[in-house]
Amino acid sequence: MTKILLVDDEPPIVSFLEHLFADSGYQTLSAFDGITALREFFAGRPDAAIIDLKMPHMDGLELCRRIREISNIPIIVLTGLGQVGEKVNAFNAGADDHVVKPASGRELVARVEACLRRGQWPLTVESRSPYTDPHLTLDFIRREVFVDGESKDLTPIEYSLLVLFVRRPGEALSLEFLLSNAWGPGYDTFDLVKWHISNLRKKLENKAGKMPAIVTVRGFGYRYEPFSSNW
């Protein structure tokens, strides 16, 4: 059974989430602070996590960073309304998605299911062979990424975005296309794409501090240039 780690310092919220996901067919692991959550993570090996950012002892940002050191499970953070800085910091810490409090139960379940589906996309026949260009290699079967032979650890969202780019090298991809294909239906926040593209660019740097070029197409989206002069 799929396990979800639920972390919030307010017991009523945790209780609500436990019943919500149990009724939706999930097993739940619960914690009221980051340190306890980290113990639950190691002991229970969850498939996804929902994490509040403001907690005692260890906040949600640090918890995200600790989980990301050893795992690429989907992480959804709960943020305050209009707290843009919180969202940016959460994505920098490794979160895949955010939900603004108070969130509906239906939305939370849908977000978790969308995140889990991204990690289970079936391979098409043409995508089973690795993608390679002079600097970047993607092994689609093993879900591994290399830049100049150096392994890169990407979150599920970052990996999904990169796959979309390498399947259409040199082609301008709109924000709408990237959002709907990396996150799925029901998402309408283009800032999600922008924040994760920024993190992806940093992770694709090689030892010389250069990277395969994900070029901004002003007013439209982005394109991947495998032979950019950036190298």
pLDDT at 83: 64
154/92 same-domain check? no
The more confident residue out of 26 and 226 is: 26
User: Is there a domain that residue 231 lies in?
Assistant: no
User: Is there a domain that residue 35 lies in?
Assistant: yes
pLDDT at 212: 63
The more confident residue out of 213 and 35 is: 35
User: Is there a domain that residue 183 lies in?
Assistant: yes
111/163 same-domain check? no
State the residue range of the domain holding 162. 125-225
Per-residue pLDDT of 94-138, as tens digits, reads 888 888 877 788 888 988 887 787 655 444 444 567 888 888 898
> Would the pLDDT of 210 be above 60?
yes
Among 50, 85, 118, the domain-final residue is 118
28/113 same-domain check? yes
70/14 same-domain check? yes
pLDDT at 186: 63
Distances (CA, A) of 145 to 48, 100, 124, 149, 158: 22, 32, 18, 9, 11
Tokens of 215: 């070029």
Per-residue pLDDT of 151-193, as tens digits, reads 988 887 888 899 999 888 889 999 888 888 887 666 667 777 8
pLDDT at 40: 94
Q: Distance between CA atoms of 153 and 200, rounded to whole angstroms? A: 10
> Would the pLDDT of 43 be above 50?
yes
41/95 same-domain check? yes
Distance of CA 114 to the CA centre of its chain: 11
> Would the pLDDT of 10 be above 70?
yes
**Is 91:72 a contact under the CB 8 Å cutoff?**
no
User: Is the overall model pTM greater than 0.85, yes or no?
Assistant: no
Residue 63 burial (10 A CB sphere; 0-12, 13-18, 19+): buried
The CATH number of the domain holding residue 199 is 1.10.10.10
Tokens of 79: 């943020």
pLDDT at 123: 42
Q: Distance between CA atoms of 96 and 75, rounded to whole angstroms? A: 5
Report residue 211's pLDDT band, with 50, 70 and 90 as the boundaries. Answer: low
Distances (CA, A) of 42 to 50, 66, 157: 15, 11, 23
188/102 same-domain check? no
Mean pLDDT rounded to a whole number for the chain:
83
The CATH number of the domain holding residue 92 is 3.40.50.2300
pLDDT at 84: 66
Structural domain count, the chain: 2
Q: Can you tell me the mean pLDDT for 212-221?
A: 87
28/87 same-domain check? yes
Strands across the sheet containing 213-217: 173-174, 221-225, 213-217
- What percent of the chain is predicted at pLDDT more than 90? 29
Of 175, 73, 50, 52, nearest to 120 by C-alpha is: 73
Of 96, 94, 52, nearest to 187 by C-alpha is: 96
> Would the pLDDT of 4 be above 90?
yes
pLDDT at 54: 86
Per-residue pLDDT of 66-101, as tens digits, reads 998 888 788 998 877 556 677 778 888 888 888 887
The more confident residue out of 199 and 227 is: 199
